[in-house]
Amino acid sequence: MDSPFGLLAELTYRCPLACAYCSNPLNMADYTDELTTAEWQRVLVEAADLGVLQCHLSGGEPLLRRDVVEIVAAANGLGLYTNLVTSALGLSRPKAEQLRAAGLDHVQVSIQADEQAVSDRIAGTPSFRRKIEAMALVKELGWPLTVNVVLHRQNIDRIADVLGLAEEVGADRVELANTQYYGWAWRNRDALLPSRAQLEAAEVVVRAARERLRDRMDVIYVIPDYYSRYPKPCMGGWAARQLTVTPNGDVLPCPAAQSLPLPRANVRDAALAWIWADSPVMTAFRGTDWMPDPCRSCDRRELDFGGCRCQAFQLTGDAARTDPVCHLSPDHDLVVDAVRAANGERPIDLVLVPRPHR
């Protein structure tokens, strides 16, 4: 594609939760100089001009931005489909009604588990009851509701009950996404990576739920990369379909790319159109010319694009290497060893984020 269709607008990395699987950057101090309302409005105009159709408002917790209603109204005025990705803490009735009036199209609420004590422990703060109340409010106001659950060793055994909760709150869509190992999730990988037996049991439950709920609720299930034979395609190709704008205005091809040693491109310094088309951060791994073997000679090179550049860097220190998830990668033993550890005896205590993001 010549232009992106999706914009992930990370309005702030501040968050009231302290989830041990958080994939946001560890160096939070680098993102405290957040874009102003006017700067976000300009970014949205440039994104629409570039061809963007969908705007996902995320974080951190986007509701901590006092101007979130203004940002939604600006996106709506440009004809963008808007999706609020939220913990739902802070989604009071007055705020929800303002967002509805501003034209917000969709709400995605994250939950950590189906039961209060477990959910609150994983979130690092009491939050479960407020999430349930907020989801009821979302449905009352007529929004489509997606329930998002990050799965890991600590909650995947509860997947049937999680699906039951999603059905109970009237979700139109549920995303069961196994943890991606970046940020705090990387630090906690040994406590988060599920066993093969857990995954096999979960897949049986998901298949049955898809069949039972096929006319009422979409059930999306994403297995952990580490258990795949081939890697996932990197956002449909590096800088091919979507872009991310971070709270301080850095533009990235995916939310995890902050960790890569690439030149920064920022909306305060350059137009979004130039950043998308020509900036080094966007062109570094676009297409297939950059690929080493075995990717270069693989007939899957335009299906999975060599896998995840951030994961390759996380595991090997070299973003240009074949994603070690791939069974053809010369570094595949790194993943094999992690999977072996997940299926053996070892401590499983979580190391929570030391403090809630303020």
* Per-residue confidence band for 357, with pLDDT thresholds at 50, 70 and 90: very low
How many Å from the N-terminal Cα to the C-terminal Cα in the chain? Answer: 38
Spatial distance between the Cα atoms of 304 and 236, rounded to a whole number of angstroms: 8
Spatial distance between the Cα atoms of 130 and 200, rounded to a whole number of angstroms: 32
* Strands 54-58 and 251-252, bridge-based pairing: unpaired
Report the DSSP beta bridge partners of residue 148.
110, 175
Q: Which of 8-12, 79-83, 343-347 has the lowest mean pLDDT?
A: 343-347
pLDDT at 1: 55
The average confidence (pLDDT) of the chain is: 93
**DSSP label at residue 291:** P
Does residue 24 surpass a pLDDT of 70?
yes
| Residue 91 contacts residue 64 (beta carbons within 8 Å) | no
The residue-averaged pLDDT of 315-344 equals: 94
pLDDT at 354: 47
Token duo for residue 62: 């986007």
pLDDT tens digit string along 30-75?
899 999 999 999 999 999 999 999 999 999 999 999 999 999 999 9
CA quadruple 317, 323, 329, 332: dihedral, nearest 10:
70
Spatial distance between the Cα atoms of 239 and 217, rounded to a whole number of angstroms: 31
Tell whether residue 19 is among the known ligand binding residues: yes
| Residue 35 contacts residue 43 (beta carbons within 8 Å) | yes
